[in-house]
């Protein structure tokens, strides 16, 4: 990588690619692009595509969400079980270690998936091998004899989630027709929220499913059942055409396109893949080169802070520990309240994904931070006032609902797109690698520290997130550029007017 490849904006002068979320960068400029869309737009989606999307999200994306939510409602009866079994209290520190181990595994999986396994097995093969970690996690969680067995199990399911984060969006984008690629790609995020909801429903005691001391082990067999379905079906689904082409197997790539799309667009789409691979393969930056490239330093800082925004907004404290929070707020049925939050999360995600394409990224982030900050102020106030006002438990549920709603409309959908939209194609993969790393480290930190903070700082704990969301509002207003409707070169040139001393 040589720096004279770039102009003073840090972008290839020829790189005038319109930015469109959830599509391959630069796809709109390929000569085959519009013709393929016109040829395919009135065609029904193939059964091969539908089955592949279903089985991939069932065995991977859904597991990401399930692993995020399953420990929330189950804390009391799992701790009671180990107390009875070992005649020893399951301490809060041990529980924090178990829950947060998910972030450690996620970090490992995000690196292990694309960088190690994916080099030799492709997208589909990586997802199939991922089930080894899934089955191991189910065994360690369900048959745990000691609390540290569950630490190992949580690391293992975290690896599953990390690999899903790194591989699934790419695989779904590469197998989808161009005219539906955005919609198909967002199914990954939707499946994550559905996985959270399923785990919450199954572990809610008042729903009389697996939420009890006697039946909690069944919670951890559900992911294994999904893994069995993936193992049985996914081998009959084609590999990614883009991956096959990059491996030099052009005939197999064409056959995959025919199965995922249709015969009449196969040759044109293969030409599109060829042009796309040429564009994205030119002088790709390594992580070290990205850190050394001064002209991209502002973008790097913004990308890192945006990833920190996702976790330090406190959203994972809600997904991991909302039941604990509601119990301390004296909510009548804290597990059911958490499950209702999961329902709202799914509904809002559906609307948020649709609305995101019609609104500016910066505008959505700005209003999200304002809404989250206000919701945290109300939530904190409800904790302080609960000894004096009887209805504060309802206020706490409503305010946490506000946190989730505003998060879904802002950082929940936008954070990853922002990274893709502020870097030139040659730096994008390394930027995403750094972003994923930062995201999982912050995930672990929040998951580990929050219950301890809640124990020692209540009723003022959520004022921490009042401060973080207020700062993120300031940072967004001053340093995050608007990217909607701009080319990559135009976005990068806006950083000349951003006064960020780095």
The CATH number given to 27-281 is 1.20.1250.20
DSSP-assigned letter for residue 262: -
Instruction: For 419-436, write each residue's pLDDT tens digit.
Output: 878 888 778 778 888 888
Span of 101-110, 255-264, 276-285 with lowest mean pLDDT:
276-285
Answer whether residue 37 shows pLDDT above 80: no
Residue 47: per-residue pLDDT: 92
Which candidate, 434, 479, 462, 457, places its Cα nearest to that of 313? 462
| Whether the domain at 1-18+285-502 and the domain at 27-281 fall into the same CATH topology | yes
Task: Tell me the CB-side half-sphere exposure of residue 262, using CA atoms within 13 A.
Answer: 14
Question: How many angstroms separate the CA atoms of 196 and 147, rounded?
Answer: 23
Q: How open is the CA angle 328-330-335, to the nearest 5 degrees?
A: 80
Written as six digits, the tokens of 201 are 């429903």
Residue 415: per-residue pLDDT: 78
Q: Which of 322-331, 347-356, 397-406 has the highest mean pLDDT?
A: 397-406
Instruction: For 445-497, write each residue's pLDDT tens digit.
Output: 999 999 999 888 888 999 999 999 999 999 999 999 988 777 777 888 888 88
The model's pTM: 0.85
Instruction: For 380-400, write each residue's pLDDT tens digit.
Output: 999 999 888 888 888 999 999
Answer whether residue 273 shows pLDDT above 60: yes
Q: How confident is the model at residue 46 (pLDDT cuts 50, 70, 90)?
A: confident
Share of the chain above pLDDT 70, in %: 87
Strand partners for 212: none
Instruction: For 398-410, write each residue's pLDDT tens digit.
Output: 999 999 999 988 8
Residue 446: per-residue pLDDT: 94
Per-chain mean pLDDT for the chain: 85
Question: How many angstroms separate the CA atoms of 266 and 252, rounded?
Answer: 11
Three-class SS state of 83: helix
Instruction: Provide mean pLDDT across the span 14-33.
Output: 44
Residue labelled with tokens 């404290």: 317
Residue 484: per-residue pLDDT: 77
Which candidate, 332, 15, 365, places its Cα nearest to that of 7? 15
Show the DSSP H helices in 261-296 as ranges. Answer: 266-280, 287-292
Which candidate, 450, 467, 330, 311, places its Cα nearest to that of 396? 330
Span of 58-62, 211-215, 374-378, 386-390 with lowest mean pLDDT:
386-390
Residue 444: per-residue pLDDT: 95
What superfamily does domain 1-18+285-502 belong to in CATH?
MFS general substrate transporter like domains (1.20.1250.20)
Instruction: Provide mean pLDDT across the span 110-117.
Output: 75
Which candidate, 280, 269, 274, places its Cα nearest to that of 248? 274
Question: Structural domain boundaries of the chain?
Answer: 1-18+285-502, 27-281
Question: How many angstroms separate the CA atoms of 381 and 145, rounded?
Answer: 41
Answer whether residue 182 shows pLDDT above 90: no
Span of 270-279, 333-342, 427-436 with lowest mean pLDDT:
270-279
Q: How confident is the model at residue 262 (pLDDT cuts 50, 70, 90)?
A: confident
């Amino acid at each position: 990588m040589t720096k004279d490849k770039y102009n003073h904006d840090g972008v290839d002068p020829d790189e005038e690619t319109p930015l469109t979320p959830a599509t391959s960068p630069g796809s709109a400029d390929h000569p085959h692009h519009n013709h393929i869309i016109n040829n395919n737009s009135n065609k029904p989606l193939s059964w091969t595509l539908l089955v592949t999307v279903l089985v991939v999200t069932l065995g991977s994306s859904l597991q990401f969400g399930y692993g995020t939510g399953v420990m929330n409602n189950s804390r009391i009866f799992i701790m009671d079980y180990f107390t009875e079994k070992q005649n020893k209290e399951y301490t809060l520190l041990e529980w924090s270690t178990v829950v947060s181990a998910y972030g450690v595994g996620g970090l490992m999986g995000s690196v292990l998936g694309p960088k190690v396994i994916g080099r030799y097995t492709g997208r589909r093969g990586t997802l199939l091998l991922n089930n080894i970690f899934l089955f191991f996690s189910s065994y360690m969680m369900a048959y745990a004899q000691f609390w540290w067995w569950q630490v190992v199990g949580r690391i293992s399911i975290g690896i599953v989630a990390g690999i899903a984060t790194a591989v699934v969006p790419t695989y779904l984008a590469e197998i989808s027709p161009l005219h539906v690629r955005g919609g198909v790609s967002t199914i990954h995020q939707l499946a994550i929220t559905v996985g959270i909801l399923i785990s919450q429903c199954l572990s809610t005691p008042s729903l009389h499913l697996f939420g009890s001391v006697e039946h909690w082990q069944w919670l951890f067999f559900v992911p294994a059942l999904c893994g069995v379905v993936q193992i049985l079906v996914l081998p009959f689904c084609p590999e990614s055409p883009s991956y096959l082409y990059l491996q030099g197997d052009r005939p197999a790539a064409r056959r995959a396109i025919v199965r995922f799309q249709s015969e009449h667009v196969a040759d044109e789409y293969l030409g599109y893949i060829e042009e796309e691979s040429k564009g994205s393969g030119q002088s790709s930056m390594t992580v070290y080169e990205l850190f050394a490239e001064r002209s991209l330093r502002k973008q790097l800082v913004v990308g890192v802070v945006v990833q920190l925004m996702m976790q330090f907004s406190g959203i994972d404290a809600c997904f991991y520990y909302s039941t604990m929070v509601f119990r301390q707020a004296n909510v009548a049925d804290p597990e059911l309240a958490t499950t209702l939050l999961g329902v709202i999360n799914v509904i809002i995600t559906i609307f948020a994904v649709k609305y995101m394409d019609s609104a500016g990224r910066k505008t959505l982030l700005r209003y999200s931070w304002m809404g989250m900050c206000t919701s945290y102020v109300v939530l904190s106030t409800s904790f302080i006032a609960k000894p004096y006002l009887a209805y504060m438990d309802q206020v706490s549920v409503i305010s946490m609902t506000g946190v989730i709603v505003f998060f879904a409309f802002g950082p929940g959908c936008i954070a990853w797109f922002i990274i893709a939209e502020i870097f030139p194609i040659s730096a994008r993969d390394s930027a995403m690698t750094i972003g994923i790393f930062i995201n999982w480290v912050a995930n672990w930190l929040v998951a580990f520290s929050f219950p301890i903070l809640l124990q020692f700082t209540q009723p003022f704990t959520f004022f921490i997130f009042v401060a973080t969301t207020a700062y993120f509002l300031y940072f967004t207003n001053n340093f995050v550029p608007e990217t909607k409707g701009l080319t990559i070169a135009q976005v990068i040139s806006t950083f000349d007017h951003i006064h960020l001393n780095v």
